[in-house]
A and B are shown apart, each in its own frame.
Chain A
Amino acid sequence: MTVEPPGVRGSDTTQTGAGTAPAPLDVAALRADFPILRRTVRDERPLVYLDSGATSQRPTQVLDAERSFVETSNAAVHRGAHQLAEEATDAYEGARAKIARFVGVATNEIVFTKNATEGVNLVAYAMSNAATAGPEAERFRIGPGDEVVVSEMEHHANLVPWQQLCQRTGATLRWFGVTDEGRLDLSELDTLINERTRVVAVTHQSNVLGTVNPLEAIVDRAHRVGAFVVLDACQSVPHGPVDFAASGVDFAVFSGHKMLGPSGIGVLYGRHELLRAMPPFLTGGSMIELVHIDRSTFAEPPQRFEAGVPMTSQVVGLGAAVDYLSVVGMQRVSAHEHRLVERALRELSAVEGVRIIGPVDTENRGGAVSFVIDGVHPHDASQVMDDQGVEIRVGHHCAWPLHRRMGVPATIRASFYLYNELDEVTALVDAVREAQRFFAVTPTAG
């Protein structure tokens, strides 16, 4: 099945040389690929979609790829020998290869899960399953005296599974703090990550603060003491070039629906030698090597971690999303979002009564901007902004401990993607002012 090229002119490859800024995106042409962006909301307001950090919209190319797969080649993969089974398996494995290349790793290092959350749970449960697995799983064993290190800025998906692992095994949970500016506090790096540490689970980019964390220092320290690094890459892989192999992380997760792909598909990356030694999490069909009535042996990775009939059209759709993003060019996506965030930070900071929660500079910062408005609860602000057609997210964004740390019960978050225009930042700021006017908290509104 062919994927039509995105409605963009040029790509990363049109760059004229190192150091040259990538050609800007033709956002208007890109937007034509996303039918949902043409709709209106709440009394015919144009949709201003600023919630891509929660889920992104899908281009026609992704929908066409899914539909074409289902209409022509649908079959259960890795089963059967008929032609459809062969085509479906080729489509599934072909997508795996594309997705692996997209994040700089080998095809057999990519495991498909139902979402990123399941990917984190897979590693955490594999570690507790290691207690009763064979000697090859020794390095995954964890118990009393061992430590797991997370951070205060983690999404619940990269926090609760580790809390639960510690509860199951008697290991101790520790965490990096967050500075007032919303950066990871690495001042205790060498004591926090020590010879007792087995896992360091951190986010690449905070879904609330937008902060991009310095992986090199964390990976270096973790590997010096023999700990695994598990990276939550849900907010980084969709928004810029990411190379897991180069970063040195041991495991990483990301989700399809945040990168123009379907929901119901997540990706776990694991270094091959680790996946080979790691015991399974979910067991059953297609993850086995030999099955007797009273015992089984398991397939090589990645099949060992993909029990049951997997998501197929979703994987094909994610493959098409990766094609789309690759043609646009991740450098250009990143540069475009940088412009949006720069303007959002500048214009929101200029509104009296608005406080940014997270770094106010654009260094090492991604496409999410969270803030509070004095005197207007985020939920109420969201209602007024929604009435203006501006769709942002409010609440704790599945990062409750982070909100406690920053001293706010909830925030308003605008998150950008490649299809957002600079004008939409203006719409965001206008909507914020409208919320202030509606709840009469502007000094001039009396």
Chain B
Amino acid sequence: MQLEQMYQEIILDHYRNPHRHGLREPFDAESFQVNPTCGDEVTLRVRLVGSGTEATVADVSYAGQGCSISQAATSVLTDLVVGRPLQEALDKQAAFTELMEGRGQVEPDEDVLEDGVAFAGVAKYPMRVKCALLGWMAFRDAVSRVVDEVGAS
């Protein structure tokens, strides 16, 4: 059944026990993103150490309301980017976005996306892709407020 493909156990685990949830200090930039079609929203803060694209992602904290897909995707995001060089984090963001916009035709690279590969099934439901990307849009937007070379997507 497609439903189980979409709601992988990994996704439900992250939803029930989200990682790094809550808003924390210190942070360099904050982004508020909303999905106007359903009202889901996320506020996400980014703390970077170092300068420019040489920086490292020191912390990502977030709060908001949303469905299991948007909440779990943001939780996975923090696992993928915290403690990583910014450029690597942005590459993961690009890879995750490509996966989600691939209509189920993109084969995810587990080395890059780790738990994020669980969202491959979500990509088959176009109406839910925005849910999975909400936190990632906030991440890119927040980073772009700190680092000039990074444009908001």
Contacts and interface: CB of A to CB of B under 8 A. Distances in A.
Interface of A: 42-43, 377-380, 383-384, 387, 394-396, 400, 403, 409-410, 438-439
B1 A43 contact: yes
B67 interface: yes
Given A42-B2, A387-B1, A387-B3, A380 B68 contact: yes
Given A379-B67, A383-B125, A395 B2 contact: no
16 contacts: A43-B2, A377-B68, A378-B38, A379-B69, A380-B7, A383-B3, A383-B6, A383-B7, A387-B1, A387-B2, A395-B39, A396-B39, A409-B41, A409-B65, A410-B38, A410-B39
Contacts of A403: 39
B68 A395 contact: no
B37 A395 contact: yes
B61 to A, nearest CB: 20
A409 B3 contact: no
B131 interface: yes
Interface in B1-46: 1-3, 6-7, 12, 37-41
B39 A400 contact: yes
B3 to A, nearest CB: 5
Summarize B's interface: helix, strand, loop or mixed.
mixed
Contacts of B38: 378-379, 394-396, 410
B3 A379 contact: no
Contacts of B131: 379
B128 interface: yes
Contacts, number: 47
B67 A377 contact: yes
* Size band of the interface chain B makes with A: 10 to 19
Contact of B3 (A377, A394, A438): A438
Contacts of A377: 66-68
Contact of B67 (A380, A387, A396, A400): A380
A403 B41 CA distance: 14
A3 to B, nearest CB: 35
Contacts of B125: 383
Interface in B53-74: 65-69
Contacts of A43: 1-2
Nearest to B66: A377
A43 B39 CA distance: 29
A410 B69 CA distance: 15
A34 to B, nearest CB: 24
B150 to A, nearest CB: 29
B9 to A, nearest CB: 11
A370 B112 CA distance: 41
B78 to A, nearest CB: 20
A383 B41 CA distance: 19
Q: Which of A379, A394, A439 has the most CB of B within 10 A?
A: A379
A429 to B, nearest CB: 19
Given A377-B66, A383-B6, A396-B39, 4 more contacts: A379-B38, A379-B128, A383-B125, A387-B3
Given A387-B1, A409-B65, A379 B6 contact: no
Contacts of B65: 409
Contacts of B3: 383-384, 387, 438
A363 to B, nearest CB: 29
A396 B12 CA distance: 24
Nearest to B64: A409
A268 B34 CA distance: 33
A432 B3 CA distance: 15
B142 to A, nearest CB: 22
B128 A383 contact: yes
